[in-house]
Amino acid sequence: MAVCHTSDVASADRPLPAGPVKGYALTRFCAPAADWQGTLTCQQWDYTVNDASIAIEVDAGKNVDNFDTLLDLLKSAFAYMDERIDPPSSLHRLDSQKLREKAALEILLLARDGTTLVGCAFARPTEDSLYVGKLAVALNYRGRGISRRLLCACEAVAVEKNLPVVALETRVELIENQRLFVQLGYKKVAENAHAGYTRPTSYLYQKDL
């Protein structure tokens, strides 16, 4: 079992020390913001990233008792899209039971501030990539690098599963999401259209690890 433990204060000119987890250096995936002060621990599927009181847990589905809270987080985080995207988000077709089933089939990542749920993502292994979806951060926790760290953890999961690519999609209208993904090293590789649409409705982004 590969295990790494890294602790330091990092910035752009002082990255986290490299720690081998099945041959990769953490600095390839975690390029921390200047305010990073915490620890990164990787052991099997348990990844914890602490920045102040924010912790990110991987493969967290087994630790969720009430999926209503997760559904509320997603609905609140995605609400701003309702007046901007067409067609509507698939989130509107989910309920707490469907989320529970999704978490059983995929890898659920959760970000918490103490016991408060503040972010999430789902990661689904495919034949040659790890597909990330339903990436969300609570409104009052945005701007603290939580999305970035959730994606960092997804990239670490991909490496553990020997998957060379992390993939995700965003709607064509969400320019801010597209900018974020480019900043994090993702490249647009395809334009897709939902059923019944003749124009692109989403962009596929990928990052080679």
The b-or-e profile of 9-34 (16+ CB within 10 A means b, else e) is ebeeeebbeebebeebebeebbbbee
Tokens representing 18? 């490299």
* pLDDT of amino acid 58: 86
Is the predicted pLDDT of residue 147 greater than 50, yes or no? Answer: yes
Calculate the average pLDDT of the chain: 79
Mean pLDDT of 121-134: 96
Mean pLDDT of 108-121: 91
* pLDDT of amino acid 52: 52
Query: Side by side, which strands form the sheet with 54-58?
Result: 54-58, 107-113, 116-125, 130-137, 165-171, 202-208, 187-192
What is 3-163's CATH topology?
Aminopeptidase (3.40.630)
* pLDDT of amino acid 63: 81
* pLDDT of amino acid 113: 87
CA distances from 172 to 46, 51, 52, 175 (A): 34, 32, 34, 7
- Percent of the chain past pLDDT 70, that is, above it, reads 75
Is the predicted pLDDT of residue 32 greater than 60, yes or no? Answer: no
Mean pLDDT of 158-187: 95
Helical (H) or strand (E) element with 133: strand 130-137
* pLDDT of amino acid 55: 84
Tokens representing 92? 């509107």
Extents of the domains making up the chain: 3-163
Mean pLDDT of 13-21: 31
Place of tokens 């987080």: 73
CA distances from 196 to 87, 89, 148, 205 (A): 10, 15, 33, 22
Place of tokens 């649409």: 197
Mean pLDDT of 111-134: 94
